[in-house]
A and B are shown apart, each in its own frame.
Chain A
C-alpha cells in the first residue's frame, strides 16, 4: 500500500456483538498543491488473521469510508459525503469541483479526513477487547484509492513523484513469471533492473514452507532436462533438491488396442534422466527462495492488473512541440499499469506472465488462435505399496491417462476424459475411483500389447538400423494404486496460441502466449524456455544500450520462441488428435506409429530429445 503522505490514525474500537466498529480520523498533509485535484477515495484494509499469525500480503478491503470531511487551513471546513459501498468493491469517490477552490491561494494543503467504517469482519480470535484493539490498530491501514487532476500537465508532474517507475513489470508471479524474475536476478547485465511483480497470490509474500510429511500436491509438473539445467544455471535447483521430487529414466507409452507399446530410456538420448516430477508449489517456492537470496530490487504488488495505457509510438514525434527540455514528458514512453487496489505504476516493459486467461494479452490487443478440446483432466495424487520409478502413459478411447512417479510410494495421475466422465469420476467414492484407475492402467478397454503383434512394425519397412536396447524391453504393467492421497481436481483443456508475442513495450511468456494439452507435460517447460530466452534477449539489449521496451529487441525473443513453441504445440495437438478419437481400423496405423517410434531409434531419439527440451528438432537438420 502506498501512502501518499504520512497520516495519523486515531482509532476507536467498540466491540459489538460480532463486529468491530471503528472510527478513524486521518490527517493527511500533502506536500504539493491541490489546485488540480478533482477527486479521491479512501478504503480501509486489514491484514488477514489466521491462527494468530498475520499473513502478510493477504490484506483485504474490510470497509469503506462513509464520509470524508475536508478541512483546509485557509478556507475552513468543506464537507462532502460518500456513499456506502460493500467491501471488495471500490470505495466511494468524492468529486471536488474546481469551483471549490477558486484560486490557488485558497487551496487546501492540509486535509482532515473523517472516516467511518461501516462493516468490519467478525474477529476470528476470541481475544479480550484489549488484545483485539491492539491487533486491529496494528494491522489496519488505509489506502488512497484514487486521485486525479484536471490539468494534464500537472498530472504528469505531480504523479511522477508518487507513482513508481520500473524497468520491467511482470504481471503474474506464477512459475513462469518467477522464473523470469529469477533469471534476471542472476545475470550480471540484468540484476540491477528495477522490477515490479504484480500478483495477488499470497504465496508470493510468504516464505515458502512445505511439510515433508504431507502427501504431494496434485498440481505437479514434469520438468525436462533442459528445464533442470535452466534451474541449475539460475541457482534454483538446489532448493528443489531440498524437497520431494522424483527423477525418472524410463517411460512407457502404450494404448488400449493392445497393438503397440513403446518404452523410452534416458540412455537412448545419452542422458541420465528423462525428466523429473516436481510439485508446482516446490518449483514456485524454489524460484522465490532463489530470488530472496540475491539483492535483486523487486517490488511485489499483491494485486491484479486492471488496465494498461501504452504510450503513443514515437514515429509520430512532432517537430511542433517546443524543444525546451523538460523532464515532464518522460512518462510518455512508458506503459502505465493500473491495479485493482488503486495503485498504478509506470514501466518500460510489461511482461504478461498471467496465464491462459492473460489480461495483458487482452489489453494489448493480441489475437489468439485456438480451440477447446471439450475434454477435462482429472488430477490427483495416489499411493502404491512400492516406489514407482517410471512415467507411464496409456491412451484410452477418451484420452490418455498418465501415472507419474512422485517419490515415497506416491504417484501423480493426469487423466483426460470427456467432461461428463470427469464429473462422475470426481464424485464417485474413493475405492471405486482407485479401481477405475487400476483398470485404466491395466486390462481396462483392451488387452496388453502382445509380443506377436509387436514385430508388425516391420511390414512398414522401418529401417532397422540403430535399434537400441530399449527396443527389446518388455512391456510392463504399472504398479497398482492402493490409495487416493489427495482431492481430485478437474481442469478443462484447451489449446491457445497468441498470434504475436510482442509489441512495443509488451511481451507475453508462458501460458499467456501458449496453452497446450498437458499430455507430454510440456506446458510449463515451454514457459521456462520463454523466460530464459526473454531474459537473455533483455541482457543482450542492455549490453548494447537498447531501450528494453523497443520492439526490434523484443522481436528477437519472438523469433527464437515462436517457431519452437508452435512446433511443440503441433506435435502435442497431433498426438492428442490421433489418440482422442477412436479411428476403428485406423488404430492399426496408430499402433504402427508406436511401433515405429519404438524401433527407429534415431527418429525416436529426435522426438524424445525434442520433448525433453533440446532446442531444435533434429529431424530437420
Chain B
C-alpha cells in the first residue's frame, strides 16, 4: 500500500538498524461488517472511499486504515468501560503531567481551579474529546480536531452536556489543514495519535508550525520496545480486550529517542519526559521515570 510504504521508508531513514515487522495485520479488516469505511471527512470528501490509496498520499498525516478503525468504534468513546477504557483510566495521570508542565512553563497558578485561563490549546486527534473536555474545565480555550467526522460528532454531542465544555470548538480536519488556515496556539497537544499517522516527521512539523514561538507541544505515544509489544498489544488488545484487535501496529511505534529527534528537527526542544506505568492491582496509572511502554513528552518551540 502506498501509504504504508511512505511510512516504511521514513522509519528506515530514522534508524536503519530497526527491523520492521510489517506483518501484524488487523484481523477485523477482512471482516466486511467490522470495517465500515463509509466515514468521510469534509476536507477530503471526494476521497472517502477505502480503496483510494492515491488520494491519501497527498494528505500527509492520514492513514486510511487507521482512521477506519477509529470510526468503527466511535460510538463507544465515552463508555468508560468500553474500548477506550485505557484512555479514560490514564486521563488523570496524563492531565497531571500537562497541568504541571504547562503551569510551570506559562507561569500559571497551580493552585487555581482554572489554571489554563487565557491559554489557546489545540487537541490534535481529539477523538471523542476525552482530553479536550478536562482541558476546557481547566480554563483553556480549546480547539479539538480529528480526521474522523464521526468522532467529532460524538465529541460535540458530549461536550454540549456541560456548559463549560460546550465552549470547545470541534472541527473535522487535520493539523495540516489547520495550518493552511494560519491558526496558532499557545499549546499543541497530540496524545496517542502519532502512532496512527502516516508520516510522524511531517506530522511533528505541522504540530510545530501550529505552535506560537516559545509555545508548548505535548505528545504521548507507545514505545517500540519488546515490553510495549507485550503490554500494549498483547495485553490491551488480546488479553484484556481493552482495544479491538489491530488498533495498534507495533512497527509504527516510535522510541523516545526517535521522537526527540524528529521534534528537534521540527524546531521543538523536548524539556521533560515521563513514563506511564500501570498497576494492575490498583487499576491505576501513575507517572514514572520508566518510559519503556507509554511515554509523554513536553517540548517548547524554539524562537528563531
B111, B157, B166: which contacts A188 (Cβ < 8 A)? Answer: B111
A315, A332, A559: which contacts B161 (Cβ < 8 A)? Answer: A332
B80, B111, B138, B153: which contacts A545 (Cβ < 8 A)? Answer: B138
Query: Could you tell me the distance between the alpha carbons of A326 and B163 in the complex, rounded to whole angstroms?
Result: 10
> B290 near A: Cβ within 8 Å?
no
Query: Could you tell me the distance between the alpha carbons of A544 and B98 in the complex, rounded to whole angstroms?
Result: 9
Task: Tell whether, in the assembled complex, residue A330 and residue B96 are in contact, meaning their CB atoms are under 8 Å apart.
Answer: no
Interface centre among B76, B136, B166 (most CB of A within 10 A): B166
Task: Tell whether, in the assembled complex, residue B88 and residue A552 are in contact, meaning their CB atoms are under 8 Å apart.
Answer: yes
Q: Which residues of A contact B80 (CB under 8 A)?
A: 315, 550-552
Known: A317-B75, A333-B161. A327 touches B99 (CB 8 A): no
Task: Tell whether, in the assembled complex, residue A314 and residue B161 are in contact, meaning their CB atoms are under 8 Å apart.
Answer: yes
> A189 near B: Cβ within 8 Å?
yes
Query: Could you tell me the distance between the alpha carbons of A341 and B82 in the complex, rounded to whole angstroms?
Result: 41
Interface centre among B96, B113, B134, B135 (most CB of A within 10 A): B113
Task: Tell whether, in the assembled complex, residue B163 and residue A330 are in contact, meaning their CB atoms are under 8 Å apart.
Answer: yes
B111, B138, B162: which contacts A547 (Cβ < 8 A)? Answer: B162
Q: How many interface residues does chain A have, given as a range?
A: 20 to 34
Tell me the smallest distance from the CB of B128 to a CB of chain A, in Å: 9
Q: Which residues of A contact B153 (CB under 8 A)?
A: 319, 323
Task: Tell whether, in the assembled complex, residue A315 and residue B76 are in contact, meaning their CB atoms are under 8 Å apart.
Answer: yes
> B79 near A: Cβ within 8 Å?
yes
Q: Which residues of A contact B156 (CB under 8 A)?
A: 323, 325
> A424 near B: Cβ within 8 Å?
no
Tell me the smallest distance from the CB of B123 to a CB of chain A, in Å: 12
B77, B136, B161: which contacts A329 (Cβ < 8 A)? Answer: B161
Query: Could you tell me the distance between the alpha carbons of A431 and B158 in the complex, rounded to whole angstroms?
Result: 69
Residue of chain A at shortest CB distance from B111: A188
Task: Tell whether, in the assembled complex, residue A314 and residue B158 are in contact, meaning their CB atoms are under 8 Å apart.
Answer: yes
Task: Tell whether, in the assembled complex, residue A317 and residue B78 are in contact, meaning their CB atoms are under 8 Å apart.
Answer: yes
Query: Could you tell me the distance between the alpha carbons of A332 and B163 in the complex, rounded to whole angstroms?
Result: 11
Query: Could you tell me the distance between the alpha carbons of A317 and B79 in the complex, rounded to whole angstroms?
Result: 9
Q: Which residues of A contact B96 (CB under 8 A)?
A: 543-544
> B272 near A: Cβ within 8 Å?
no
Tell me the smallest distance from the CB of A265 to a CB of chain B, in Å: 37
> B95 near A: Cβ within 8 Å?
yes
Tell me the smallest distance from the CB of A457 to a CB of chain B, in Å: 39
> B286 near A: Cβ within 8 Å?
no
Tell me the smallest distance from the CB of B131 to a CB of chain A, in Å: 9
Q: Which residues of A contact B282 (CB under 8 A)?
A: 559
A192, A323, A552: which contacts B113 (Cβ < 8 A)? Answer: A192
Task: Tell whether, in the assembled complex, residue B137 and residue A546 are in contact, meaning their CB atoms are under 8 Å apart.
Answer: yes
> B150 near A: Cβ within 8 Å?
yes
> A321 near B: Cβ within 8 Å?
yes
Residue of chain B at shortest CB distance from A314: B78
Known: A329-B160, A330-B162, A333-B161. A319 touches B154 (CB 8 A): yes
Residue of chain B at shortest CB distance from A551: B80
> B112 near A: Cβ within 8 Å?
yes
Q: Which residues of B in the span 77-114 have a Cβ within 8 Å of any Cβ on A?
A: 77-82, 88-89, 91-92, 95-96, 99, 111-113
Task: Tell whether, in the assembled complex, residue B89 and residue A545 are in contact, meaning their CB atoms are under 8 Å apart.
Answer: no
Query: Could you tell me the distance between the alpha carbons of A540 and B150 in the complex, rounded to whole angstroms?
Result: 31
Tell me the smallest distance from the CB of B29 to a CB of chain A, in Å: 22
> A542 near B: Cβ within 8 Å?
yes
Task: Tell whether, in the assembled complex, residue A547 and residue B137 are in contact, meaning their CB atoms are under 8 Å apart.
Answer: yes
Known: A188-B111, A189-B111, A543-B99. A333 touches B88 (CB 8 A): no
Q: Which residues of A contact B82 (CB under 8 A)?
A: 315
> A222 near B: Cβ within 8 Å?
no
Tell me the smallest distance from the CB of B187 to a CB of chain A, in Å: 14
Residue of chain A at shortest CB distance from B109: A188
> A190 near B: Cβ within 8 Å?
yes
Q: How many residues of B contact A (CB 8 A)?
A: 37
Tell me the smallest distance from the CB of B117 to a CB of chain A, in Å: 12
Query: Could you tell me the distance between the alpha carbons of A332 and B158 in the complex, rounded to whole angstroms?
Result: 10
Task: Tell whether, in the assembled complex, residue B75 and residue A545 are in contact, meaning their CB atoms are under 8 Å apart.
Answer: no
Q: Which residues of B contact A541 (CB under 8 A)?
A: 92
Residue of chain A at shortest CB distance from B77: A317
Task: Tell whether, in the assembled complex, residue A330 and residue B161 are in contact, meaning their CB atoms are under 8 Å apart.
Answer: yes
Tell me the smallest distance from the CB of B191 to a CB of chain A, in Å: 13
Residue of chain A at shortest CB distance from B135: A545
Known: A315-B78, A317-B75. A545 touches B137 (CB 8 A): yes
Known: A188-B111, A545-B135, A551-B80. A317 touches B158 (CB 8 A): yes
Task: Tell whether, in the assembled complex, residue A545 and residue B166 are in contact, meaning their CB atoms are under 8 Å apart.
Answer: no
Interface bits A545-566 vs B (CB < 8 Å: 1, else 0): 1110011110000010000000
Q: Which residues of A contact B157 (CB under 8 A)?
A: 317, 321, 323, 329
Query: Could you tell me the distance between the alpha carbons of A330 and B133 in the complex, rounded to whole angstroms?
Result: 14
Tell me the smallest distance from the CB of B137 to a CB of chain A, in Å: 4
Interface centre among A188, A348, A543, A552 (most CB of B within 10 A): A543
B75, B135, B166: which contacts A319 (Cβ < 8 A)? Answer: B75
Tell me the smallest distance from the CB of A539 to a CB of chain B, in Å: 9
Tell me the smallest distance from the CB of A164 to a CB of chain B, in Å: 13
Known: A321-B157, A323-B153, A552-B89. A315 touches B79 (CB 8 A): yes
Q: Which residues of B in the span 150-206 have a Cβ within 8 Å of any Cβ on A?
A: 150, 153-154, 156-158, 160-163, 166
Task: Tell whether, in the assembled complex, residue A546 and residue B162 are in contact, meaning their CB atoms are under 8 Å apart.
Answer: no
Query: Could you tell me the distance between the alpha carbons of A319 and B81 in the complex, rounded to whole angstroms?
Result: 19
Q: Which residues of A contact B74 (CB under 8 A)?
A: 319
Q: Which residues of B contact A192 (CB under 8 A)?
A: 113
Known: A327-B160, A327-B166, A552-B89. A544 touches B111 (CB 8 A): no
Task: Tell whether, in the assembled complex, residue A330 and residue B166 are in contact, meaning their CB atoms are under 8 Å apart.
Answer: yes
Tell me the smallest distance from the CB of B115 to a CB of chain A, in Å: 9
Q: List 12 A-B contacts (CB under 8 A).
A: A192-B113, A317-B77, A329-B160, A330-B163, A348-B162, A541-B92, A542-B137, A544-B95, A544-B99, A545-B135, A550-B80, A552-B89
Known A-B contacts: A327-B163, A543-B96, A552-B88. Give 11 more (CB < 8 A).
A317-B75, A319-B75, A321-B157, A325-B160, A330-B162, A330-B166, A544-B95, A545-B133, A545-B136, A547-B162, A559-B282
Which 6 A-B residue pairings sit nearest by Cβ, starting from the closest?
A545-B134, A544-B95, A333-B161, A315-B79, A545-B137, A188-B111
